[in-house]
């Protein structure tokens, strides 16, 4: 007969499983493996984060901070861009960045009450972009940039500053790069 884990053991198990994975691990998958509800996992992760464990929630699941960094080590340059576009242009924006060799690490908006709100993306390919946009449509939650009339920032990882400039030029050509 299996011994039922107590909460502390379950949280240790969550950390151990995240350490073994380089890809995001969904709350549903953790819940199934540990025999609890998804909501219990969400609560456990919140408590772990509050205690200082660097767990990051990405659109595809949880990762430890070291694993949430750029997927490819050849992407050593990072820069920030400002963009503005409609929700219908999201896939076009994501494709423009990844097709030029960039990875969108995050999205940041400035909220009048809460200040800076950020979400991890880690989108490095068209497949990642398709998965993200599909999830936005399926969940009907909207984009962070919906809060700011489409204006938002992205941290982009790429090989070098020249690649970063090429990405900016492509976004400018598409009228997505924000210029006041």
Task: Write out the chain's pLDDT in tens, 180 residues.
Answer: 345 678 889 999 998 888 887 788 899 999 999 999 999 998 898 888 877 788 888 778 888 875 444 555 566 888 999 999 988 999 999 999 999 999 999 999 988 888 888 888 999 999 999 999 999 889 888 888 888 888 999 999 999 999 999 999 999 999 999 976
Q: 45 with 62, same domain?
A: yes
Q: List the binding residues for Ni(2+).
A: 85, 93, 152, 154
Task: Give the CATH number for residue 84.
Answer: 3.30.1340.20
Number of domains comprising the chain:
2
Q: Give the residue from 122, 97, 112 showing the smallest Cα distance to 151.
A: 112
Domain region containing 49: 7-68
Q: Which residues are annotated as a binding site?
A: 85, 93, 152, 154
Put simply, whether the predicted model's pTM sits higher than 0.85 gets the answer no
Cβ-count burial 134-166 (b if 16+ within 10 Å, e if not): eebeeeeeebbbebbebebbbbbbbeeeebbeb
Is there a single domain that holds both residue 165 and residue 93? yes
Whether 58 and 103 share a structural domain: no
Q: 121: which DSSP letter?
A: E
């Amino acid at each position: 007969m299996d011994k039922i884990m107590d909460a502390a053991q379950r949280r240790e198990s969550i950390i151990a499983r995240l350490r073994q994975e380089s890809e995001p691990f969904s709350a549903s998958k953790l819940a199934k493996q540990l025999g609890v509800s998804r909501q219990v996992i969400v609560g456990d992760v919140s408590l772990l984060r509050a205690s200082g464990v660097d767990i990051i929630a990405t659109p595809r699941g949880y990762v430890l901070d070291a694993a949430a960094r750029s997927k490819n080590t050849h992407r050593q340059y990072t820069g920030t861009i400002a963009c503005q576009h409609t929700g219908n242009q999201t896939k076009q924006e994501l494709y423009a960045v990844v097709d030029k060799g960039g990875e969108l690490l995050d999205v940041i908006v400035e909220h009048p009450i809460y200040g800076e709100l950020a979400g991890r993306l880690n989108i490095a390919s068209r497949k990642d972009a398709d998965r993200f946009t599909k999830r936005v449509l399926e969940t009907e939650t909207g984009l962070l940039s919906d809060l700011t009339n489409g204006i938002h920032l992205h941290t982009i990882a790429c090989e070098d500053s020249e690649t970063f400039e090429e990405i900016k030029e492509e976004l400018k050509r598409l009228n997505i790069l924000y210029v006041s």
